[in-house]
């Protein structure tokens, strides 16, 4: 007889930029019929609005206030243009601007402020508490949802991540070289490290040379094996 593990209500996926969180998260969410929530979107949306309103990115209090007074919505895709979801900031569709160079360059600095993290914490926890969610980020398993039933930490070398990100950006029409992406990821890793946590009860998976489907299958298999033990 084959016992399956009780379906986890919340799945946390943490790991550095371009480690494959989004693709895996979407595969797991589709598999379980859950929603996929990429928490990096909140930090990116705040950065976008702060840049638009010329808020000083070193001013933690002003950024936290902006987080409290802004209305961010993450909805099902409203346009079939390759997006995984639609993001609105105060009613405006900012799904693609969130991936633009000016946001990419500044988001780590914004996310590093403890006051900003605190301002965005409750929103993330409310979504987590509702259950049936796969949530991706840096501190989900350790800080936001320590009770998540399944925690995955995805890792990959910075070279592999830079290669993937460069390919992704080039495919979207942004002319950026591998070396530029590598330098940017290395810089962002150093800032993000302070708020990137490997939860004690997380399963760590290194994704170098592995496709998202392969990693997805490994997790599904692992869940079956754990249930049999």
- Residues of this chain that interact with ligand DC (CB under 6 A) are 17, 39-40, 43-44, 107-108, 111, 137-140, 188, 192, 195
C-alpha distances out from residue 226 to 35, 183, 221, Å: 24, 39, 9
Give min distance, CB of 199 to ligand DC, in A: 12
* Alpha helix positions (H), 90-177: 101-111, 114-129, 158-171
Nearer to ligand DC, 122 or 226 (CB): 122
| End-to-end Cα distance, the chain | 12
Query: How many Cβ atoms from other residues are within 10 Å of residue 128's Cβ?
Result: 20
Residue owning tokens 């993001």: 87
Nearer to ligand DC, 20 or 137 (CB): 137
Give min distance, CB of 88 to ligand DC, in A: 17
Closest CA to 39 of 139, 119, 180, 131: 139
Give min distance, CB of 94 to ligand DC, in A: 13
Give min distance, CB of 52 to ligand DC, in A: 17
Give min distance, CB of 69 to ligand DC, in A: 20
Nearer to ligand DC, 17 or 27 (CB): 17
Q: Look at residue 75 and give its three-state secondary structure.
A: strand
Nearer to ligand DC, 31 or 187 (CB): 187
Nearer to ligand DC, 143 or 219 (CB): 143
Rounded CA-CA distance 77/79 in Å is 6
Q: What are 82's two structure tokens?
A: 């390759």
């Amino acid at each position: 007889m084959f016992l399956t593990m009780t379906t986890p209500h919340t799945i946390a996926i943490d790991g550095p930029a371009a480690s494959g969180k989004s693709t895996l998260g979407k595969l797991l969410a589709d598999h379980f019929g859950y929603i996929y929530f990429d928490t990096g979107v909140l930090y990116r949306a705040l950065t976008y609005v702060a840049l638009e309103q010329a808020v000083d990115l070193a001013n933690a209090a002003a950024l936290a206030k902006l987080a409290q007074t802004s209305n961010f919505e993450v909805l099902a895709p409203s346009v079939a243009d390759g997006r995984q979801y639609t993001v609105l900031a105060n009613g405006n569709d900012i799904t693609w601007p969130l991936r633009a160079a000016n946001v990419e360059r500044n988001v780590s600095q914004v996310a590093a402020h403890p006051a900003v993290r605190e301002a965005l914490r409750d929103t993330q926890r409310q979504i987590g508490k509702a259950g049936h969610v796969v949530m991706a980020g840096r501190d989900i398993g350790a800080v936001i949802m320590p009770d998540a039933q399944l925690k995955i930490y995805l890792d990959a070398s910075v070279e592999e991540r830079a290669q993937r990100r460069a390919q992704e950006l080039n495919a979207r029409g942004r002319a950026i070289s591998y070396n530029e992406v590598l330098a940017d990821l290395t810089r962002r890793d150093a800032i993000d490290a302070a708020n990137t946590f490997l939860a004690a009860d997380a399963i760590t998976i290194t994704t170098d040379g592995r496709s998202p489907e392969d990693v997805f299958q490994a997790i599904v298999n692992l869940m079956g094996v754990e249930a049999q033990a």
